[in-house]
Copies of this chain bind each other. A is one copy, B any other.
C-alpha cells in the first residue's frame, strides 16, 4: 500500500484548497443564510453558477472520474484528499460538479451508457448544465435487499413501461434536474441478479409525479432535496434501458463501489472541519474562569476525535487504493468497512463539536447540524450499516470454511 500523494494529487489538493479558501469559504455562511430566508428554496442562486463556471474554467471539475477524457483523471487514491477537502463544505461538491448522486449517475453512463445516451444525458451532466436523480429506494419494502423491489419496467414492443413508487430520490427538487435513472424489475422469473433493469427517464415524462419532498433529520437539503416520486404507466423508448434489460443489479453494484467511498472521503473532511471548529471554540470561549479546552474531559475528547479521524482517513485511503489496484470486487470488504466507519466517526466528531458550541452548535449558524444530518443519512444510504457488517463478517468467515 502506497498512500503517497502523486505530484498530480498534490497539485489538485493545493488548487482545491486555495479555491475553497478564496472562493467558497468566504461566501458560504452568507449563502446558507440567504437560502434559509427564501420562501421558495428550490432555486440555484446565481453565486453558485458563478463559482461553478470559475471552477470549471480552472479545471477543478469532474475530478471524481478516473477516466482522463472527462477531467483531470485522478485515481481513487488521488481523488481521496480532494474529495475530503470538498467535504468540508455543503456546497463545494456541487461547485466542482462532484456531487452525489450526479457523480454515480455519470459513472453509470460512462461505463454502461451507449453513445446516444451519453450524448443526450452524460454530456450535459459533465457540463454541469443539468442534474439527475437515482430512483431506486422504495417506501414500502426494505430496499437494502434488492430482491424486495416492487417497481416494474415491462418491455412492450419498442417501449418500456415503468410503474412504481420511489423515494429518497436526491435532486428531485433541483430546478435543473432533467433525468432519473429508474430501477425496476423487468423479468421476475429471471435469476436474483438479472431480473432488474435501469432506465433513463426524463423528469417531465408523462406519468412521472414528484409527490413531495422528504426532510432528512429536519433538513430539506434544498435545492437538491429528496423526492418521493411516483411512476405511473410511464412509457419511454426501449433504448432508454442502460446496457440492456436485466443488467440493473450489476450496474448498481458497480455504481456503488467508488460512490460509497466518495461519500466517506467527504465525511472525513466534514469531521476534520468539525474538529477544527471544536478546537477553535474550545480556545475562544470561557466558562468558570477557563477556556473550555481546560475544562473537564474536553481535551480528551479532542484527542479521541483526532485519533478517530486519522484511522478513518487511513482506512478510506486503503479502500481507495484497493479499488485502484485490485478492482471494486476485491475491495468489497474494505468498501463496506469504511462505509461503516466513516459516518460513525463523522457523527461522533460533529456531535462533540456541536456540544462544544452550546446551543449555537445545533442551530443554522454553524454548518455542524447540517453536516450531522448528512452523515446520519449515510448510515442508511448506499446500504445500512447492518448490511455492510453482515458482508464484512461473511467475507471474514469465508476464509475459514472448507472447500
Contacts and interface: CB of A to CB of B under 8 A. Distances in A.
A315 B310 contact: yes
Interface in A367-403: 369-370, 372-373, 376-377, 379-381, 384-386, 388-394, 396-397, 399-401
Nearest to A282: B397
Interface in A1-41: 1-4, 36, 39
A312 to B, nearest CB: 7
A238 B204 CA distance: 65
Q: Is the interface on chain A under 10, 10 to 19, 20 to 34, or 35 or more residues? A: 35 or more
A146 B217 CA distance: 32
Contacts of A388: 303
B218 A369 contact: yes
A359 interface: yes
A296 interface: yes
Contacts of A219: 218
Interface stretch (A126-134, A156-164, A177-185, A287-295): A287-295
A355 to B, nearest CB: 7
Given A217-B372, A364-B214, A306 B333 contact: yes
A50 interface: no
A304 B217 contact: no
Interface stretch (A117-125, A137-145, A249-257): A137-145
A36 B214 CA distance: 10
A215 B363 contact: yes
Given A358-B144, A364-B215, A296 B286 contact: no
15 contacts: A1-B2, A3-B3, A137-B358, A137-B359, A141-B285, A217-B372, A218-B219, A275-B396, A279-B400, A296-B297, A296-B299, A296-B300, A310-B334, A311-B314, A355-B385
**Which 10 pairs between the two chains have the least Cβ-Cβ distance?**
A218-B218, A297-B297, A314-B314, A299-B393, A311-B311, A303-B389, A303-B392, A142-B287, A145-B287, A2-B2
Interface of A: 1-4, 36, 39, 137, 139, 141-145, 148, 167-168, 214-219, 275, 279-280, 282-283, 285-288, 292-293, 295-304, 306-307, 310-312, 314-315, 317-318, 333-334, 337, 340-341, 354-355, 358-365, 369-370, 372-373, 376-377, 379-381, 384-386, 388-394, 396-397, 399-401
Given A297-B301, A302-B396, A311-B311, 19 more contacts: A1-B3, A36-B215, A39-B39, A144-B358, A279-B399, A280-B400, A297-B299, A299-B394, A299-B397, A302-B397, A303-B392, A306-B392, A306-B393, A310-B315, A311-B312, A311-B341, A314-B317, A355-B380, A358-B380
